[in-house]
Structure 1
């Protein structure tokens, strides 16, 4: 159950990040709602995951997944660079998070 909470928290973090990006460009109620509710839901779900997982694991996976998803979404939908080095760096994040989980 803890993993479901962490994955959902990372997804809601992306909602918050997209809302933040949109809100910084155009201050509407919808963008503000996405920004605030996305991050609020993310923190609530991360907190709930701590009932099942160690803080070091839950937080690392949350940050790694959130970062990875944000990069992929920005590459696909917001025109950010898709360079080989950027993708390689993304793979290193995933390998690092997986490695931390494997040795704990």
Structure 2
């Protein structure tokens, strides 16, 4: 169950960041709800995951998946650079988070 909460937390973090991006371009209630609601739910789900997983693993995974997801989302949908160094850095995040779970 803890891993489901981590996935839900990461998805909601992406929604919150997407809302933040939209809110910074156009301030309206819908974008504010995406921003605040996404990040609020993200924190609620990560907190719930602490009942099932060690805090260090849950938090590191949530942070890594969220960071990697935001970078990927911005590269695919918002025109950010797709340079080799960014892709290699993204892979390093994935390897690091995976290493924490395996060890």
TM, length-normalised to structure 2: 0.98
**How large is the RMSD of aligned CA atoms in angstroms?**
0.6
| Counterpart in the other structure of 2:31 | 31
> How many angstroms does 1:37 deviate by?
0.3
For structure 2, the 5+ residue unaligned runs are: none
In structure 2, the partner of 1:12 is: 12
- Distance of 1:76 and 1:5 partners within structure 2: 25
| 1:31-85 per-position Cα deviation (integer Å, ceiling 9, x unaligned) | 0000010011000100110110000000000000001110111011000011111
Q: Which residue of 2 aligns with 1:82?
A: 82
Normalising by structure 1, we get a TM-score of 0.97
Could you tell me how far apart the structure 2 residues matched to 1:7 and 1:63 are?
Answer: 11
State how far apart, in whole Å, the 2-side matches of 1:25 and 1:64 are.
Answer: 26
Which structure 1 segments of 5+ residues have no match? none
**Regions of 4+ moved over 4 Å:** none
Correspondence 1:43 to 2:43:
yes
Alpha-carbon distance in structure 2 between the residues aligned to 1:28 and 1:75: 25
